[in-house]
Amino acid sequence: MLDMYLFENSQLLEQIQNRVLELKDAESFDDEAINEIFRAMHTIKGSSGVMMFDEITAVAHKLEDVFYYLRESKPSNVPHLELVELVLAVTDFISGEMDKLSAGGTADGKAESLIGKIDDFLIKIKDDSKEEAGKVIAGNVYEEPTQFYIAPLATNPTHYYKVYITFKKDTELVNIHAFKAVRALKDVAEDMLFFPENILSGDEAVSEDILENGFKILIQTGKSEEEVKNLIGIGYDIEKVDVYECNYAEFNLGFVSDDFQIQIDLDSSVEEIRERRQAPGDFVVKSKDHGKVTLAKDKKAGGEKSTYISVEVGKIDTLMKLLGELISKESDRLENPELLTKIQNVVRSMRMVPLTTMFQKMNRIVFDVSRKLGKDVEFEMTGDDMEVDRSIVESISDPLMHLVRNAVDHGIEMPDERIRAGKADRGKVTLSAREESGKILISVTDNGRGLDRDKILAKARIQGFIEDNKSDSDYIDKEVFNFITLPGFTTNEEVTEYSGRGVGMDVVMKNLQKLGGTLDIDSTKGQGSTMTIKI
């Protein structure tokens, strides 16, 4: 539950942030955006309440109040940028708490101050809407849940079955055959569990377990026992299929796999089983440590945390089709390397993710930094639909973040300076991606002041990066620009929150070198700069 809570809510937070940044320059949020943010906060509030993360629940409910009021009262003169910053502050708080939970910690942050700001904002927009004073709307009341029940999809009539599959002892790739059975039941299942769970992990112990103890399935379906048995089928790999109907309470017990051993009694007579008040073919749960309960967060602290990614359904369907071919051609799989290559390519493609999410994070950085520095900066992104391996996205996220901050801080001038230079007071940062000769190229371009060759050379001499016997003319522009990537080099006279400490670009270079990547710098004084990551 914790894993899915984190996964689903991170997607909702990403959705909210993207929508807010998309409309940050608008006069106000439109009805569609208001409804979308309200629904997302309502969902986060509810799931956080179930998980008993009280501070997240409280702050989500408070922001939901704001959008409930916007939806119902439709007030005018709402300070839009203030609301944008408030929503982003809430998403930051919740994301921070979720990061703690993901690392096995506790959601111990305090939302009191942030809730106070939201309250003040809500009071202000209510006071400013005098023309709406006569309109009374129902309050957005949150009733704390006292009992939670998560029910599976049910049809009428519906049946619950315990299925036990015995494979022949000489069956190869038995885990794949077990998966084939699950796949056969997928379209008729309203709810389904199976054990062992990790049948596609490639773990030899899993196959040995299935051969020795059988493969167990719990399924809820509208089909009869005979239909379930026929769907699985008894072929050259399956020796026997046993199907027993049970009630929902028995079905809902599920499987426990960490500290428990699951067994099935197929040897005793029906009379003996009834005497023990046990259903025929029942899965008997025998605890090694009776009464021991392990909380999810305790398990996470000591083990590896689960990682989830969204995968395009079409890729999974292709993989399933290829696996089906592999099973049907099991005997000649070694003579069919093309099929294995196709499967390998599909699996690899499932690790590919579009750059959109990472690019949107850079949009947020441009917004935050420009607001704090008093600059007006437009953000544009192109090529963000290009897909790359998720490990590359994770590796270049920090270097790219620094380049984007630099573009806003060092590159883009203050509005009055831009006007004096004959430019529009609004600057622009463009993030683009493209593929070229087998390389991924990601560029950060700004239309700011550009790099000052003479200033860089002067600083480089003072800091000892230039040999005494060399003149400035001995260096071409690209060589001069590369000085800014050396450890400790800076041209900033003033230390700000974002730059001027002599660190940063050298870290960018180190991170890129680990990936076998490079940084190409191109700049024209007074016109702007382009920093291109090549991987």
Residue range 524-531: mean pLDDT, rounded: 94
Judge whether 297 lies within some domain.
Answer: no
| Contact yes or no for 73/34 (Cβ under 8 A) | no
What pLDDT score does 139 carry? 56
Mean pLDDT is lowest, of 271-275, 323-327, 441-445, for 271-275
Judge whether 128 lies within some domain.
Answer: yes
Judge whether 141 lies within some domain.
Answer: no
pLDDT tens profile 163-179: 999 998 888 888 888 88
| Contact yes or no for 236/174 (Cβ under 8 A) | no
Q: Give the domain extent around 196.
A: 159-288
Question: CA-CA distance, 415 to 155, in Å (whole number)?
Answer: 63
Backbone angles phi, psi at 376, to 5 degrees: -105, 110
| Contact yes or no for 516/391 (Cβ under 8 A) | no
Alpha helices in 23-53 (DSSP H): 31-50
- Paired tokens of 262: 């699951």
What pLDDT score does 381 carry? 94
Summary mean pLDDT of the chain? 80
Judge whether 30 lies within some domain.
Answer: yes
Q: Domain boundary at 132, 149, 180, which?
A: 132
What pLDDT score does 442 carry? 95
Give how many domains the chain has, as a whole number: 4
User: Rounded to two decimals, what is the model's pTM?
Assistant: 0.59
CB atoms within 10 A of CB 394: 11
Give the confidence band of 255 by pLDDT, cuts at 50, 70, 90.
Answer: low
Backbone angles phi, psi at 530, to 5 degrees: -130, 125
**157 preceded by a cis bond (ω within 30 of 0):** yes
Residues 477 and 524 in one domain: yes
Residues 325 and 434 in one domain: no
Which has the higher per-residue pLDDT, 441 or 197?
Answer: 441
Judge whether 331 lies within some domain.
Answer: yes
Q: Domain boundary at 350, 369, 398, which?
A: 350
Residue range 488-517: mean pLDDT, rounded: 68
What pLDDT score does 501 carry? 35
* Model confidence at 282: pLDDT above 60: no
Residues 80 and 166 in one domain: no
Residues 394 and 406 in one domain: yes
CB atoms within 10 A of CB 372: 13
Residues 112 and 222 in one domain: no
CATH (domain of 519): 3.30.565.10
| Cα-based distances in Å from 91 to 144, 392, 532 | 22, 25, 30
Alpha carbon 309 to its chain centroid, in Å, reads 6
Question: CA-CA distance, 468 to 482, in Å (whole number)?
Answer: 18
Judge whether 302 lies within some domain.
Answer: no
Residues 61 and 175 in one domain: no
Mean pLDDT is lowest, of 146-155, 236-245, 394-403, 408-417, for 146-155
Helix axes 112-127, 54-73, angle to 10 degrees: 10
Residues 29 and 122 in one domain: yes
What pLDDT score does 346 carry? 80
Residues 323 and 362 in one domain: no
Alpha carbon 105 to its chain centroid, in Å, reads 19
* Model confidence at 326: pLDDT above 80: no
What pLDDT score does 288 carry? 32
Secondary structure class of 267 (helix, strand, coil): coil
* Model confidence at 258: pLDDT above 70: no
Q: Domain boundary at 132, 151, 177, which?
A: 132
Judge whether 149 lies within some domain.
Answer: no
Question: CA-CA distance, 89 to 87, in Å (whole number)?
Answer: 5
Judge whether 301 lies within some domain.
Answer: no
Secondary structure class of 309 (helix, strand, coil): coil
What pLDDT score does 260 carry? 36
Residues 365 and 460 in one domain: yes
Collect all residues with Cβ–Cβ distance below 8 Å to 386 and sequence separation of at least 6: 354, 355, 433, 434, 435, 440
* Model confidence at 298: pLDDT above 50: no
Residue range 483-509: mean pLDDT, rounded: 66
Report the run of H or E that residue 472 belongs to, with start and end: none
Question: CA-CA distance, 487 to 507, in Å (whole number)?
Answer: 8
Residues 378 and 512 in one domain: yes
* Model confidence at 461: pLDDT above 90: no
Residues 113 and 79 in one domain: yes
Residues 376 and 443 in one domain: yes
| Contact yes or no for 197/209 (Cβ under 8 A) | no
DSSP line for 351-414: TEEETHHHHHHHHHHHHHHHHHHT--EEEEEESTT-EEEHHHHHHHHHHHHHHHHHIIIIISPP
Question: CA-CA distance, 236 to 171, in Å (whole number)?
Answer: 9
Single out the residue of 501, 471, 315, 304 nearest to residue 402, CA to CA.
Answer: 501
- Paired tokens of 431: 């993030």
* Model confidence at 294: pLDDT above 70: no
CATH (domain of 216): 3.30.70.1110
DSSP line for 105-155: -------HHHHHHHHHHHHHHHHT-GGGTT--------PPPS----PPP--
Give the confidence band of 9 by pLDDT, cuts at 50, 70, 90.
Answer: very high
